[in-house]
Chain A
Amino acid sequence: MKRYVATAALAGIMGVTSIAVAGGAGAQDDTVTMTIGLLQDMSSPNVTVGYLVPEFEVWNLQYASLTDKAADDFAPLPGLAESWEESDGGLTYTYTLREGLKWSDGEPLTADDIAYTINRSRDEEWANHFSTVENIEATVLDDRTVQLTSSEPDPKLPTMDVYIVPQHVYEGIDAEAIADYDGMDGVASGQYSLVEWNSGQDWTLERNPNWFGRDNGIDRIVYRVFSNADALVAALQKGEIDAAHGFGAEGAQLLEQEDGIEVVVGLQGGFTELALNGMEGGIGDGHPALQDIDVRHAIYHAIDRQAIFDGVSLGYGSIGTTLSPSADTSWIPDLGDEGFEYDPAKATQLLDEAGYLDTDGDGVREMPDGGQPLRFRYVERSESENADSIRAFVTEYLDAVGIATDVEVMDDTQLYEAQVAGEYDIFVWGWTPYVDPDPMLSYFTCGQVTTDVEAAGYNDANWCSEEYDALYDQQKVELDPTARRAIVADMLRLFNRESTYLVLLQDADLQAYRTDRFEGWLRQPAETGPVIFSNSSPTYANLTVIDGGGDDGGMSTGLLIALIAGGVVVVGAAGFVVMNRSKRTADERE
């Protein structure tokens, strides 16, 4: 599952506005390079520990799966396996691999690699694979045949959504060392392999000549990390990059007015949530008031999601309701009157009745025993493009019902560590779910609450319940689609009532590409989905190079005016000071 980011700017820490210099557009040799700009760096290209959107795109390109997914509707397609057969009432599937599969380094890719990856990721509980392979045993029948046996009925099969890693590389890395592995081996079964990563700047993938699929004519793909949305938008306008991802609603509005640039509003279930620390099992140091469900409900009633959507999303995406477990948003149930409508009077009433009163008249309520004030730490992500706007709304709404906030700004790694340790009160972050709802739902089971950074689970709200876990186990083995949907709907209603995640926004992935160099951009799912950073990234295999496409450059007038205006002010001020000095010197020499 990917932690998503609509985002920006390492808070511009070094103040450098990245301006891409060597864009693909002007390359002189025969190498065809496509450059994609974004605002988020990878956390790690190691499949066992990475968790951000950018590395999922790299894995989608570097590792072919047993079964691929259709761009239109995620239906299973042949991947490494060219065919499969069901037997034993859906408990066993036998996959036949394509003929002559090879890794990018020339080693043969066989059923051993498949079985090795599935069995090892189950045994070692690799976070990105585990919920998919939990009940599965993989057996090698011969070089081209692998059999998967599930101990329970599994509605996800025959789709096998795990990244198959090269056994000949990974068997040299044992369980203790794997979390520290840098993942830079570049041995690919997919379309491209990762050859270089300059953290905070860019990473490069090169075409895998041994890939079984179609050659799209693009030799390299470079992903360039920009420090702010404006620089990203300007780079796309100038043709320094061919596509851009995550520039935010403001950037989308600007780019929609450009000729030669296509803006994509991609919906794939991504959302932004306001999470409250549930402190399951007493871990961490969350505020005790957040353990009280009345306080959590009051917080939800205090916040006007419509206003945040209007003010921040500018009409892209939709208002959040509750956890969206799948890229297919029809999994979200109708919450009826349990949707926590904006009602500050109700929030006030809930807090008053539960005894959280402002006893010392400072505008902030205190705990019922009159001690600790309701002052929550609020973590704002430095790498998010809209986090400060959302924070402006949320803190004002909380303030209006007598809840104070102390804003802390953290980068993704710091926040992740704070989550694992349970040392936070409130944070705002987002998720982009898989297609099958199982992984997203699994994150809120009790097994995912842990304080060990090395073996961390994904339960970042530190909330869980036995009832939820029981329903989770039920849906996991329910083969009837209608019955499974009903169970999932019950889980989501329960999750919503427990109110550990207030889903603020249903996000759109805002992307744009230039129409002059490449064509064949595919949305996944059809019509509504994103073209890049989508669930299985089918765009890349479908692209073709447009002959004679090129650069039409030029600096935006806005930027030019700003630079000139800034220059005039600085020169004027400097001139004034210099004039002042020389004049004074002249006076004094008299």
Chain B
Amino acid sequence: MSDHALPAGAAAPTFSPKAFARQRRRAAFAEFARAFRRDRLAMLGLVILLAFVLLALAAPLISPRSGLSVVASQDNPRWASPSGDFPLGTDHLRRSGAAQFVWGSRVSIAVGLMATVLTIAIGSLVGIVAGFFGRWTDAVLMRLTDWFLVIPFLPLAIVLAAVLDRSLRNIVLVIAITSWPATARLVRSQVLTVRQRLFVDRSRALGASRAHVIRRHILPNVAPLILANVTLAVPISILTETTLSFLGLGDPNLTSWGKVLEQAQSEGAVLRNAWWYYLPSGIGIVLVVLAFTLVGRAMEEILDPRLRERGR
């Protein structure tokens, strides 16, 4: 419920405007939750997502960090197949595959989230400013956006990652720089429609500052759309991190799923049939990306007025 239609439970007129808004939002959320729960695939996505987030958070409890140490792993067998001691076998440096899978989930998901936050922040800022101020501000920002949109995404990311030092921070930066334009376009279009609404004109006529209008009217109305966009941007960020790591452009000190795939390829896991080393990470990536996509699509359909209207 992103529109200003009066919510069903808002009959009593005696509350302060703040309390009124709170109540309205609560009702909107309840409506959203109801719609979301009806979507079985979205719920499945949510469950998978929670499972992986739990895995990432509980990594230290599940598998000690020393499992990633080459020095501490010296006495393990090389390329051992899965067994009781090593549920996902060992790699070329005798490290536990399970430890790399568990700790890799942390890096992959964390990079995905951090990069998304940055992507959305840049995209939303550009979109809102361009959409709200219009005229030359809009023209300049949109040309900039177009410019970034037409540059082929992967080569740009590779070049940036190759030029910058290979660190976690820079990977996040590279992903954000290459993926903000889509969000900017989306947010701008929504801002344009919101800006035409009567209540914005009324508010302006009553003397509200531009900052006030953006904060109190524009932002709340584009927020749901941004939120849905976040869940759809995360899988793209995760895949980008994986791609860059697979190409050897990731942080060399960190174990991520993409890094595991890169090592599997460069260290002969494929020729050795050591499927236990690379398959879990590959499947992990597919599942997390799928889960985010399922949740994101559902949210988008519930929250995006255009998609919703078409559906009903």
Decide if A561 is an interface residue (CB 8 Å cutoff): yes
Q: Are A396 and B265 in contact (CB under 8 A)?
A: no
What mask results when residues 278 to 297 of chain A are scored 1 for a CB within 8 Å of chain B, else 0? 00000000000000000000
Partner of A234, one of B266, B271, B275, B311: B271
Whether A485 is near chain B, meaning CB under 8 Å from some CB there, is no
The answer to whether B282 and A391 touch across the interface, beta carbons within 8 angstroms, is no
- How far apart sit A573 and B286, CA to CA, in the bound complex (Å)? 7
At the interface, is chain A mostly helix, strand, loop or mixed? helix
| Interface pick from B1-9, B66-74, B98-106 | B66-74
CA distance A230 to B247 in the complex (A): 15
User: In the bound complex, how far is the Cα of B154 from the Cα of A549, in angstroms?
Assistant: 43
Partner of A254, one of B158, B268, B290, B311: B268
Cβ A562 vs Cβ B275 within 8 A: yes
Chain B interface residue number, banded: 35 or more
Chain B nearest Cβ from A8, distance in angstroms = 7
Contact A395 B253 (CB under 8 A): yes
Q: From A570, which residue of chain B is reached at the shortest CB distance?
A: B286
A254, B293: Cβ atoms under 8 Å? Answer: no
**A558 at interface by CB-CB < 8 Å:** yes
Q: Give the complex CA separation of A402 and B286 in angstroms.
A: 39
- CB contact list, A369-399 vs B, under 8 A: 380, 382, 385, 388-389, 391-393, 395-397
How distant is B298 from chain A, measured CB to nearest CB, in Å? 9
Contact of A250 among B41, B92, B282 (CB under 8 A): B92
B31 at the interface (CB under 8 A from A): no
B248 at interface by CB-CB < 8 Å = yes
Contact mask for chain A residues 551-562; partner B; CB cutoff 8 A; 1 contact, 0 none: 000001111011
Inter-chain contact B273/A229, CB cutoff 8 Å: no
Query: Is A21 engaged at the interface, CB distance under 8 Å to the other chain?
Result: no
A370–B162 CA distance with the chains assembled, in angstroms: 35
- CB contact list, A296-326 vs B, under 8 A: 304, 307, 310-312
A580 interface contact, C-beta 8 A: yes
CB pair B69–A396 under 8 Å, yes or no, is yes
Q: Is the Cβ of B270 less than 8 Å from the Cβ of A230?
A: yes
Q: Contact string, B251-273, partner A, CB cutoff 8 A, digits 1/0?
A: 01100000000110111101111
B162 touches A13 (CB 8 A): yes
- On chain A, the residues within 8 Å of B252 by CB distance are 380, 388, 391, 407, 409
In contact, A580 and B297 (Cβ under 8 angstroms):
yes
- Determine the distance from Cα of A569 to Cα of B267 in the docked complex, in whole angstroms: 22
A585 to B301 CA separation, bound complex (whole angstroms): 11
Question: Is A229 a contact of B270 with CB atoms below 8 Å?
Answer: no
Q: Is A355 an interface residue (CB 8 A)?
A: no
Identify A569's interface contact among B69, B94, B283, CB under 8 A. Answer: B283
* A519 contacts B by Cβ under 8 Å: no
Q: Which residues of A contact B275 (CB under 8 A)?
A: 561-562, 565
**Residue A160 is within 8 A (CB to CB) of chain B in the complex:** no
Residue of B nearest to A409 (CB): B166
A557 CB to nearest chain B CB (Å): 7
Given contacts A382-B248, A569-B282, contact A397 B71 (CB under 8 A): yes
Indicate if B249 sits at the interface (CB-CB under 8 A): yes
Residue among A380, A407, A562 with most chain B CB within 10 A: A562
Complex Cα distance, B283 from A8, in Å, reads 27
* Cα-based distance from A380 to B252 in the complex (angstroms): 9
CB closest chain-A residue, reference B69: A396
Set of chain B residues within 8 Å of A581, measured between Cβ atoms: 297
**Does B93 have its Cβ within 8 Å of any Cβ on chain A?**
yes
The complex places the Cα of A558 from the Cα of B68 at a distance, in Å, of 26
Cα A230 to Cα B166 in complex, Å, equals: 24
Once bound together, how far apart are the Cα atoms of A562 and B267, in whole Å? Answer: 14
Q: 1/0 contact trace for A206-230 toward B, CB 8 Å?
A: 0000000000000000000000111
* Interface membership of A481, Cβ < 8 A: no
Question: Which 3 A/B pairs are nearest by Cβ-Cβ distance?
Answer: A11-B248, A250-B268, A588-B311
A-B contact list, 19 entries, CB within 8 Å: A11-B248, A12-B248, A13-B247, A228-B265, A233-B268, A250-B92, A251-B268, A254-B272, A311-B93, A392-B93, A393-B71, A396-B69, A396-B70, A396-B71, A407-B252, A409-B248, A559-B271, A561-B273, A569-B286
- A229-B268, A234-B271 known; 14 other A-B pairs, CB under 8 Å? A11-B247, A11-B249, A13-B248, A230-B271, A310-B74, A380-B252, A407-B253, A409-B252, A556-B271, A558-B271, A561-B273, A573-B286, A573-B290, A580-B41
Interface residues of A (CB under 8 A from B): 8-9, 11-15, 228-230, 233-234, 250-251, 254, 304, 307, 310-312, 380, 382, 385, 388-389, 391-393, 395-397, 400, 406-409, 556-559, 561-562, 565-566, 569-570, 572-573, 576-577, 580-581, 583-584, 588
